[in-house]
Amino acid sequence: MVLKLIYKFVLGFTEATFGPCLLAITVQWYKRSEQPFVTAIWQSMSALATSVASLYGWGFYQVPEASSLKGWQWVILALAVGSFISSSK
């Protein structure tokens, strides 16, 4: 039980610090006058991406159990196909 709580804490800590650290690193490439705008766009797109991902997740989990794959497997498959298509020229 205690080990599970430790794992949850470490995972939560690393997830909570990842976004702000990545934002701080990315914003350093812009002029000081451009940084507020870039930060606002970054935060807005992060929220939009979370919303869209939640809708996709909900949609894929509505797939009937009669299919050969479970809902979470459809999510992974769709992400893999989307990544493959977007990476090809």
- Mean pLDDT, to the nearest integer, of 67-89? 83
The pLDDT confidence band at residue 89, using thresholds 50, 70 and 90, is low
Query: Taken in order 42, 8, 83, 18, is the CA torsion positive or negative?
Result: positive
At 47-61, the pLDDT tens digits run 898 898 888 888 887
Q: Do residues 42 and 23 make contact, with C-beta atoms less than 8 angstroms apart? A: yes
Give residue 18's pLDDT: 84
Confidence band, pLDDT 50/70/90 cuts, at residue 43: confident
